[in-house]
Amino acid sequence: MIITVTMNPAIDKTVEIDALVQGGLNRIKKVEYDAGGKGINVSKTICELGGHTIATGFLGGNNGRTIASVLKEKGIESDFIWVDGETRTNTKVFEENGALTELNEPGPTITEDKIEELMKKLLGYAGIDSLFVLSGSIPAGVPKDTYARIIRAVHEKGSKVLLDADGELFRQGLEAGPDIIKPNRVELEEYADMDYRASEEELLKIAKKFTEKGVGTIAVSMGKSGAMFVLKETTAKCPALSVKAHSTVGAGDAMVAALAYSWDEKLPEEEMIRLSMAVSAGAVTTIGTKPPAKELVDTLKEQVIIEKM
């Protein structure tokens, strides 16, 4: 069972324009709306792959009701904590030349009693057959050690955790020993206090050190440079697949979804790598945060090159 936790969901509004004019008039050519937030994006992708998740976290107001309705229409089970205030809207401005500008709202402030309500709900799902996906930002009122606290609590019940976060959330969460992580290049550089673009050798060295903290599966996404995987039996690099990119939004969430789905389906390591690369490549071909079709993913899997390291 996969439980995705989205503490700061959003209505994703993607607008397409010719070119952004700062301080001037911008005419929108196309608008797309979708239920978003990193964990929700993971649930949508797993659903497209044929898997099942339970999406939880915090929702509020009309936007929250819209997200709950969209998930129900897509056949995605949800079990959110309802809070005062309005779930945010994130606006993504996509230009014809491929440039992307994101305007993310902060979201509602979460009270301590709602945090405890969510913790109780998560522990109700915890067990040896459960994988919790903790991804994305946290809203105001939620302490930065919350992911670490969740990891320790569900581990006590035998659950596994996939962590996809940055900054202090990632740093503190890592100390709690998540089972799977998917940092990107920038997040690793920030973690290691690097003020320059790290080489692939340096990134691999950092990733391997995470195994000392008990992390069994590490996927490092590197954008156009592909991805690296440090697994129990395999260390490999995969070049990025050649696809017609529309937007890189959601590519990281798609890879997280593939990692979670692979765990749930108990796929072999090589199959997990192929699926992770194919799903993330397929995601950049879609509009907004929509997941790639399974047919496209199956085609892309055949194109994945795995270079053992």
Note if 253 is an active site residue: yes
Catalytic residue, candidates 34, 164, 253, 264: 253
Render the chain in DSSP notation, one character per residue. Answer: -EEEEESS-EEEEEEEESS--TTS----SEEEEEEESHHHHHHHHHHHHT--EEEEEEE-HHHHHHHHHHHHHTT-EE-PEE-SS--EEEEEEEETTS-EEEEE---PPPPHHHHHHHHHHHHHH-STT-EEEEES---TTS-TTHHHHHHHHHHTTT-EEEEE--HHHHHHHHHT--SEE--BHHHHHHHTT-SS---HHHHHHHHHHHGGGT--EEEEE-GGG-EEEE-SS-EEEEPPP----S--TTHHHHHHHHHHHHHHHT--HHHHHHHHHHHHHHHTTSSTTPPPPHHHHHHHHTT---EE-
Catalytic residues: 253
